[in-house]
Amino acid sequence: MRRNGFTLIELLVVIAIIAILAAILFPVFAQAREKARQTMCLSNVKQMGTATMMYVQDYDEQFFGDSWGHRYWLFLLQPYIKGYPKNFTQAKGNIYACPSDRDGIQYVSKKSAAAISPEPAASWGLIAAADGRMPYWASYGINEHVTDQWPALAAYEDPAGTFLFLENNDSDVEGDELTDPGRASCLEIRCEHSDGMNIAWIDGHAKFARCVFVGDKCINDNWRFPPAGNGGKSGDCGPWTAPASDTCP
């Protein structure tokens, strides 16, 4: 007589096989999704680097300097960015939003907002909140030494080995700002792509690099890459600074 259906043992075996396959494949799918987000983020960073090179050539090989550089650099790139975001308060359609960043809202302070109101803030799509600050979504920060100490492209002896943009939780960053005790992750920088980040360099190229630290990641001195530093005009070494005036050993 022909049997119909499955026995309980057979059903349990099938369920067990499906569970094993799911346990194997789900992490693979998650890694594939994250790899896609990493690639999209790298594309963003590359476009930012290319746009900055175009800006530099238009302004006598000078990067954006002072407050305009470390607070408003992304808005100054507007003429050079294809697909410039229509709404800076949302991640969707925003080239400055990393797809892996779940909380990329930053703020132009009330004092800084007053300096650009009503223009050019309105042209940039910035709107003041009730507290006077202007919110915008961004997942990247510029090397503060580029804007504050060495805005001239010619100053850099190693443009291919000096940071321009990092994945960051603030609009600018330097070596003594890798960590931030005020954040849940204790990090100012973001290493969300398989413990790494995408970086644009002074010469405009972009690439992925893993974050490396020894011991407690919440201590700046424990970082190997990106390197930590003492801050100040010449206190950060390696990729944070480039000219001969860098006094680090």
pLDDT tens per residue across span 217-233: 999 999 999 998 887 66
Measured between alpha carbons, how far is 220 from 172 in angstroms, rounded to an integer? 16
Is 11 or 220 the better-scoring residue by pLDDT? 220
Asked whether the beta carbons of 155 and 242 are under 8 A apart, the reply is yes
- Average the pLDDT over 148-176 and give the result: 91
Q: Measure Cα distances from 80 to 50, 86, 149 in Å.
A: 9, 15, 24
pLDDT averaged over every residue in the chain: 86
Give 168-186 pLDDT, tens digit per residue.
999 999 999 999 988 888 9
Tokens 């443009």 belong to which residue? 159
Q: Is the pLDDT of residue 66 over 90?
A: no
DSSP label at 90?
-
Q: What is the pLDDT of residue 23?
A: 73
Q: Is the pLDDT of residue 30 over 70?
A: no
DSSP string, 159-182: GGGSEEEEEBSSSEE-GGGSB-TT
Measured between alpha carbons, how far is 65 from 158 in angstroms, rounded to an integer? 20
Alpha helix positions (H), the chain: 8-58, 66-76, 110-116, 121-124, 144-148
Poorest-pLDDT segment among 22-26, 76-80, 120-124, 199-203: 22-26
- Average the pLDDT over 17-40 and give the result: 74
